Amino acid sequence: MVGEIVHVDNSTHLGPVPSGEWCQVDGAWKETECRAGLGWYNFDPESGSTLVGASNLRRRLSPLQTELETLIWAMQSMLVHNKQRMNFQTDCAQLVKMVSEPAEWPAFEILLEEMEKCRKMFQAFSITHIPRKKNTKADRLTQSARDQPHDVYNINSVPPASFPEPI
């Protein structure tokens, strides 16, 4: 469902999207590829600053696991950069449901426990489902990282035009 929101302070419930800073997340997973891509795009409308992250890793068991790992990495990165009030946005409706009802997803228990540890460190946290066409920046970072034949781990305040070609 587009526009589904989970707002969390010490409990999970539906609520309004907090205004201010947001971080879009996306994972890229293909059964025919050996690598999965992770990407996030953070924007602060108050300062106009951006922070981006792109990485790849060995393909996980499912696309949903990759989406959850991307969210956890983005959450950890925001906390490292002292960004404690965040609206995370994803085009994966299942990820929003997973965050709002973690007990319903026992196969992901270990990752959901890690996500919960991170969530508790935020002063304000929400996760919103957005249309895929509104998540293009994170999607491009994710696709570019996944397609690299070598390990990629990039966090930067300027989105890379593209990753360098291997020599």
Measure the CA–CA gap between 90 and 160, rounded to whole angstroms: 21
Tell me, yes or no, whether 127 lies in a domain. yes
* pLDDT, tens digit (0-9, with 9 covering 90-100), for 43-74: 999 888 899 998 888 777 788 999 999 999 99
Provide the number of structural domains found in the chain: 1
CB 55 within 8 A of CB 145: yes
Which domain does 74 fall in, by range? 5-11+18-151
Beta bridge partners of 44: 49
Measure the CA–CA gap between 76 and 88, rounded to whole angstroms: 12
How high does pLDDT run on average in the chain?
A: 82
Tell me, yes or no, whether 164 lies in a domain. no
pTM score, whole prediction? 0.82
* pLDDT, tens digit (0-9, with 9 covering 90-100), for 103-126: 999 999 999 999 999 999 999 999
Tell me, yes or no, whether 83 lies in a domain. yes
| Region 70-99 average pLDDT | 95
Tell me, yes or no, whether 68 lies in a domain. yes
The CATH number given to whatever domain includes residue 74 is: 3.30.420.10
Tell me, yes or no, whether 165 lies in a domain. no
Tell me, yes or no, whether 167 lies in a domain. no
CB 52 within 8 A of CB 159: yes
